[in-house]
Amino acid sequence: MVPPRRDPSGFYWGAARPSKTGEARPEKFFFGAATSSHQVEGNNYNDWSEWEHKTANSKSQMANRKNWPDYILNPQAGGPNPLQKENYISGRACDHYNRYEEDFDIAKSLGHNAHRFSIEWSRIEPEQGKFNEKEIEHYWQVIKALRKRGIEPFVTLWHWTNPLWIRDIGGWENKKTVEYFLRYAGKIIQTLGQEVKFWIPINEPTIYTGLAYVMGQFPPEKKNLFKADKVLKNFITAYKKTYLLLHKKLPGVMVGNANNIHCHLPFNKKSLLDKVAVKLLQYFRDWRNLKWTDGFEDFIGLNYYFLDTIKVVPFNGRFILFDVRNPNKWISDMGWEIYPEGIYHNLKKLKEKNLPIYITENGLADAKDEKRAKFIKNHLKWVHKAISEGVDVRGYFYWSLLDNFEWDKGFWPRFGLVEVNYKTMERKIRPSALEYKKIIEANAITE
């Protein structure tokens, strides 16, 4: 098949042409941003919100042991800082639940033609088997608001939070959760499905599993490799069953997971141990999950954020550990190593799957908005290089549209194209968002 024409400086252009699977490729590239329900909506009541109240005090005390820059401790945009307990309690978050039309107006003004968001399971089914029709209607209005503005919705069904009754049966450790999730997914498909083409059943199953069941940093704060393996396998089963259900009920939809894939490099390129450690981390941290979903994907969702440079170090003279030794040449407020070239290497690797790819998350915390424009431009340059070499990339979603509640870190990290004053809820478009808009309008990266 003849691939779609590409402007040397741009993304897709010209008439849509069929792909290898016979599906028509898009005439336009999807540009947008992403959010998740718990991080922006506000007033959620789920396993994570209860955990916030339980751990907020200890997190603020731990934060007092670190030296913070003044612009983090005294944010000009208003809101709590990491030394304050309220920083770690989501509360009304960005009040996006009530302000979604205002936020979508902003997205439209910035040239976005697609938006990724998640539906909150705990709102839809707060008690086992009891669906809240009012909340279903709310998400129907959200989808209609996007459609009205010409913005394509990408819907995520699970983005790290669970109803309390799911937590109480053991969460994703319990096989019954798979069937309960399928019932919830079926309800959403039945009531909202006709207006949605792109579906992401599970967000970053490997990241959640690692942080919740290996590192013990996220609820339910367990460190158990056997339970972690069980949880990940339940996620994969839930994803596959939801994939089949979506295609049964809604022929023609596009379904794929959002997979966080790091870039790992050996600290010493000549060290066999460092290179082997990189291979092991790449497989278990990132690629194993993708192998398990072969045959159950219509597209690949790629979330990419940072580089980890890996060095093997001895421990107690016997055990060998992996150690992150980043050069820290260019870092975000979170201390993440910014490495735009990494997105290119991940895209080239994903080309082996022979599927369309959407970059479903890519962003950084940058309260002063000094690095974000360059971050977006440089990552998109590498995305375009991958496209020019035959990788079927069809969209890019910056994380995030709004400043939001960054899970265990709380409010202080500022990821948004749009600044949020957490005291007044005022929205303010950042200069970097306007630079992203220029790329969108030109359908190219301009100097």
Residue 298 above 90 pLDDT? yes
What is the full DSSP assignment across 63-103? HTTS---HHHHS-TT----TTSGGGG--TTTT-HHHHHHHH
Q: In what order do the strands lie in the sheet with 263-266?
A: 263-266, 307-315, 319-324
Cα–Cα distance for residue pair 290/292, rounded to 1 Å: 5
Task: Name the pTM for this structure.
Answer: 0.94
Q: How confident is the model at residue 445 (pLDDT cuts 50, 70, 90)?
A: confident
**315 or 8, which is more confident:** 315
> In terms of Cα–Cα distance, which of 353, 404, 385, 374 is closest to 9?
385
pLDDT of res. 24: 43
Q: How confident is the model at residue 98 (pLDDT cuts 50, 70, 90)?
A: very high
Mean pLDDT over 336-360 rounds to 97
pLDDT of res. 300: 98
Cα–Cα distance for residue pair 67/404, rounded to 1 Å: 23
Provide the residue count of the chain: 447
pLDDT of 182-192, one tens digit each?
999 999 999 99
What is the full DSSP assignment across 305-339? --EEEEEEEEETTTEEEEEE----SSB-TT-PBP-
> In terms of Cα–Cα distance, which of 237, 239, 231, 234 is closest to 257?
239
pLDDT of res. 4: 42
Cα–Cα distance for residue pair 279/426, rounded to 1 Å: 46
Burial of 37 (0-12, 13-18, 19+ CB in 10 A): buried
CA distances, 5 to each of 113, 212, 299 (Å): 21, 44, 20
Give me the phi and psi of 324, to 5 degrees please.
Answer: -85, 120
Residue 27 above 90 pLDDT? no
Establish whether the linkage from the previous residue to 400 is cis, with ω within 30° of 0.
yes
Residue 170 above 70 pLDDT? yes
Residue 437 above 70 pLDDT? yes
The enclosing H or E element of 22 equals: none
Q: First vs last Cα of the chain: how many Å apart? A: 33
Residue 316 above 90 pLDDT? no
The answer for residues whose C-beta is within 8 angstroms of residue 68's C-beta and 6 or more apart is 81, 82, 83
pLDDT of res. 319: 74
pLDDT of res. 145: 98
Place of tokens 């934060």: 63
What is the full DSSP assignment across 247-297? HHHSTT-EE--EEE--EEEESSTT-HHHHHHHHHHIIIIIIHHHHHTTTS-
Instruction: Classify 154 as helix, strand or coil.
Output: strand
pLDDT of 320-329, one tens digit each?
889 999 999 9
